[in-house]
Amino acid sequence: DVLVVKYQNKVINLCFRFLGNYDDACDCAQDVFVKVFESLSKFRGDSKFSTWLYAVTVNFCRNRISSFKHRKSKQDTSYEIQDAGDESLSPSKQFERKELNNKIQKAIDSLDEDQKSVLILRDIEGLSYEEIVDITGIKLGTVKSRIARAREELKEKLKGLI
């Protein structure tokens, strides 16, 4: 219970970033916690617990994405910032923010899966390069180059919007 309380929001948010649908993210997060509890004895302590948890989460998300490939569209695909409905903003500003978030979401979704994964972990989740290396098992240079390419692609796709 303590693990779920401490990490539930982070796991759901990470799943949401990958899957783009809140219900799918909650289902995936639940599966992640079941797997974590079943595999807790396998955690060796080579890295922080949160890094191991992120690795399990990323793997579950990738597997779920693979099983969703046949779906052409997602019902709820926004990576909305939590305060996107900030009541201090005028309705038109709230709408503009939501539209911008949707465009960013689509641009991120169009990235190659490998680029998308490391970009989300670095720029959205705020993880260090070393944590990303631990989570993905990819070499540091590869992580950095994928992030750089993903940022360049996003910059090109979002040109004029930001």
Write the pLDDT tens digit of every residue in 43-67.
Answer: 888 889 999 999 999 999 988 887 7
- The answer to whether 58 and 14 have CB atoms below 8 angstroms apart is yes
Domain boundaries, the chain: 1-67, 88-162
Query: Token pair for residue 160?
Result: 């004029």
> What percentage of the chain reaches a pLDDT higher than 70?
87
Q: What is the dihedral of CA 118, 82, 104, 17, to 10 degrees?
A: 30
CATH fold label, 88-162: Arc Repressor Mutant, subunit A (1.10.10)
> Do the domains spanning 1-67 and 88-162 agree at the CATH topology level?
no
Classified as helix, coil or strand, 12 is: helix
Asked if the 1-67 domain carries CATH number 1.10.1740.10, the reply is yes
Residue 75 pLDDT > 60: no
Which is nearest to 134 in space by CA: 14, 52, 13? 52
- pLDDT at 146 > cutoff 80: yes
Residue 83 has pLDDT above 80, yes or no: no
